[in-house]
A and B are shown apart, each in its own frame.
Chain A
Amino acid sequence: MTDMPPDAPIAPPPKSRMRLALESDVFYTFRRSPVAVISALVVLVLVLSSVLAPWIAPTNPFDPSSLNLMNGFTPPMEPNAFTGETFLLGTDDQGRDVFSTILYGMRISLFVGVAAVTFAMILGITLGLISGYVGGWLETIIMRTADVQLTFPSILVAMLIFGIAKGVTPVEYRDQMAIWVLILAIGLSDWVQFARVVRGATLVEKNKEYVQAARLIGRTPGAIMLRHILPNVLSPVLVIATISLALAIIAEATLSFLGVGAPPTQPSLGTLIRIGQGFLFSGEWWILFFPACTLLALALSVNLLGDWLRDALNPRLR
């Protein structure tokens, strides 16, 4: 009648983090899922090429000195009638290389998306932790606000916030501030999901005895939330963040397409689609087509990756 002798080989000696990651279940299901592998590759290529845009892009579309109006409306892969220059994906009305504008536009789309999701995540996690752990009237206020906000489509919320923020910024700063206002608007329209999920997980975790034990050794509520509960509620947050990123990229494109997002001086993919849309019926299809395809590929692959991650991290769905 003994306990497992303490020296029983229960677990092999700890491996390096890299080995652990490569042998984990999550990585195993990743390799077994062609959709996940392909989406990850697409995301990787798109992210890398937008980060490296200044080195990859043939021209800098924001540098007026490099532009030649004579190059306007050059179709893809055909030499221009006046200058003889050839462009992989053609040029727009001002002679800007579409391939370059896409690379730079994707940069802005990704930046806005990542920044907005990060903002939404920090806000949502904080409010979710507080309402789950502290409870009381704080919880009531936070969760009721969330409920009310959920009854509006988030794009409307974003437009509303965008409009208000734009109204209070002085005219001369509007174009500079547009990107930040966009991030704020999309972020504020998207925190609810994070807050709900984190609150739910916090309610479960806070009743576990390790939290009581932490209270008993004198951890303050703030430290308990940050050190004990937060690490244990992060995996659903990761899933939501990925899916939210796809939604944020689409929301940004929608706002920019509607003309209330990124300004033409800093065009995102949505701005490019809006510009291209004006030439669709006059035959210059490439100005719209290539940015739209890029947006589709980006949003779809991020979304598929998020779907896969949700299945992989949720054992009940497997």
Chain B
Amino acid sequence: MTAPVMSAKGLTRHYDVSGGLFSRSQVLRAVGGLDFELYAGKTLAVVGESGCGKSTLARLVTFIEEPTEGALTLDGKPVTRADWPDLRSSVQIVFQDPYGSLNPRQTIGTILMEPLVINRPKMSGKEREAQARKTLGLVGLRPEHFDRYPHMFSGGQRQRIAVARALMLEPKVLVLDEPVSALDLSIQSAILNLLVDLQDRLNLAYLFISHDLSVVHHVADDVIVMYLGRAVEKGSKEAVFAAPKHPYTKALLSATPRADPLAKADRIKLAGELPSPLEVGAGCPFAPRCWKTQDRCRVERPDLQGDAHLAACHFPIGPDGA
């Protein structure tokens, strides 16, 4: 087995959320103790509901924020804050909102060349432009788009531009934070195909963040299911989709529309809303919404268990589906 490009051990991020004037400040555990590895040419998908800490994870992995605890290693070397400037080229990100991620006052050419201006100061202007134009072609845009402004493009085209910008520094790891959620369904698959194609050509490691299981099914090799900042299930896409172990995963899967309307699986409706990440008690965070909850779940938090296919549940769902 090849060595991972990037790996995370116990990655944790807390936020101090000070309440009002009279309440004491509380700790919000946005991400709690995540372990994972990213391999060249492979996609790790992270799935979870809104607010479960996916974007926080993206900010940790792209060195925008420092983890409260835990560590990242890149190419086997531990990452410290002092290394951040050097590592920027290795890890880049594509954001969710293609309308907010491009500066409306810059031309596409300026946007694409900016990473080079800062990080490749020895490059000549001509070389920068040549590389920007090459990358523009790589993502399926045309040379004459170089001098235009973002408002002249559709959402899908803007997302191509955002991908091109992320590729300018020839990264090894690309973090995709809900890259297609803001796009029309018809455009989604074109962008996903582009991403798959780029991964093959450039041997990129993807951390693909999404709340949409059908999108994840399309691109993932491995899957982590997150709930309130923690991993509740982790395994290969095939294993997780075919035989989910954690009740939360099963509930998510049952809520995903299928292509085959006859295979109408019993849809599991979760009781209650997603609880506030501030009010996670001692037991299993999912216990209040779970239909299999027993006394043990309310007092003891389960750890991730298993070999290749792990789940954090005291009473995992067996192969029989019960």
Contact = CB atoms under 8 A, between A and B. Distances in A.
Interface of A: 1-4, 6-7, 10-11, 13-14, 208-210, 212-219, 228, 231-232
Nearest to B166: A213
A1 B186 contact: yes
A209 B115 CA distance: 15
Interface string B129-168: 0000000000011101101100011101100101001000
Identify which of B85, B105, B141, B165 gathers the most chain A CB atoms within 10 Å of its CB: B105
A10 B154 contact: yes
A212 B157 contact: no
A218 B152 contact: no
Which bucket holds chain B's interface residue count? 35 or more
Given A2-B190, A4-B187, A209-B95, A14 B147 contact: yes
Contacts of A218: 85, 88, 115, 118-119
B157 A4 contact: yes
Contacts of B97: 209
B157 A210 contact: no
A219 B165 CA distance: 14
A217 B49 CA distance: 29
Given A4-B157, A11-B152, A210 B187 contact: no
Contacts of B148: 11, 14
B6 interface: no
A217 B118 contact: yes
Contacts of A4: 154, 156-157, 187
Interface of B: 62-64, 85, 88, 92-93, 95-97, 100-105, 114-115, 118-119, 140-142, 144-145, 147-148, 152-154, 156-157, 160, 162, 165, 169, 186-187, 189-191, 194
Contacts of B119: 217-218
A136 to B, nearest CB: 14
A231 B114 CA distance: 16
Contact of A213 (B95, B144, B189, B191): B95
Nearest to B119: A218
B145 to A, nearest CB: 8
Contact of A1 (B88, B104, B157, B189): B189
21 contacts: A1-B190, A2-B190, A3-B154, A3-B186, A3-B190, A4-B154, A10-B157, A14-B148, A209-B100, A210-B100, A210-B101, A210-B102, A212-B95, A213-B101, A214-B103, A214-B114, A215-B64, A217-B169, A218-B119, A232-B103, A232-B105
